[in-house]
């Protein structure tokens, strides 16, 4: 490890850093697990790869049971099924959602007829987008 900078060489490995040893997310003050649960493969997307609802829920429950509290998803993961699985699970397990930070990313509207509306909404919500977003 001599070739690594000291700060990196002293970092604990993944096996030494439990999910409930929370770290601060940037300068937000929000305390989250050191490893986020990526929900990219939650849901069986036709023509793609992914986990069944049952497998996805089992993965989510194991992560939460181990103390995890940071989940990453996006509207285009498995064509929106990832978000649906997460939403359905949290709706069925009242009180759990308030203990979890979810990073929701919006890529684009999944429905062609609403893409223009989505672009216009993004442009209205972000002043820097007015020059760069499609009309």
What's the pTM?
Answer: 0.68
103 beta partners: 72
Inter-residue contact 110 to 80 (CB < 8 Å) = yes
The full set of domains in the chain, from first to last, is: 6-108 (3.20.20.100)
In the prediction, which pLDDT does 77 show?
78
Task: State pLDDT tens for residues 44-64.
Answer: 876 667 899 999 999 999 999
Write the CB contacts of 9 (distance below 8 Å, at least 6 apart in sequence).
Answer: 1, 2
Active site residue 77: yes
Q: DSSP string of 31-96?
A: EE-SS-EE-TTBS--TTS--B-HHHHHHHHHHHHHTT--EEEEETTGGGGHHHHHHHHHHHHSTTS
121 pLDDT more than 70: no
Please pick, among 22, 63, 77, 81, the residue that the annotation labels catalytic: 77
Q: How far apart are CA 74 and CA 38, in angstroms?
A: 10
The closest alpha carbon to 52, from 15, 25, 78, belongs to 78
3 pLDDT more than 90: no
- For residues 117 and 85, the model is more confident at 85
In this prediction, what percent of the chain has a pLDDT beyond 70? 64
In the prediction, which pLDDT does 135 show?
41
Task: State pLDDT tens for residues 88-103.
Answer: 999 999 999 999 999 8
Q: How far apart are CA 59 and CA 39, in angstroms?
A: 9
| Collapsed DSSP state (helix, strand, coil) of residue 107 | coil
In the prediction, which pLDDT does 132 show?
43
Q: How far apart are CA 67 and CA 51, in angstroms?
A: 22
In the prediction, which pLDDT does 12 show?
59
Task: State pLDDT tens for residues 65-84.
Answer: 999 999 998 877 777 788 88
């Amino acid at each position: 490890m001599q070739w690594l900078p000291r700060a990196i060489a002293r970092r604990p490995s993944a096996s030494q850093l439990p999910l409930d040893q929370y770290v601060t997310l940037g300068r937000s003050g929000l305390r989250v697990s050191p490893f986020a649960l990526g929900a990219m493969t939650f849901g069986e997307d036709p023509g793609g790869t992914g986990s069944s609802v049952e497998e996805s829920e089992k993965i989510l429950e194991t992560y939460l049971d181990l103390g995890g509290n940071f989940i990453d998803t996006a509207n285009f993961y498995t064509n929106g099924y990832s978000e649906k699985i997460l939403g359905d699970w949290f709706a069925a397990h009242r009180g759990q959602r308030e203990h979890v930070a979810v990073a929701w990313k919006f890529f684009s509207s999944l429905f062609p007829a609403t893409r223009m509306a989505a672009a216009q909404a993004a442009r209205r919500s972000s002043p820097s987008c007015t020059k760069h977003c499609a009309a």
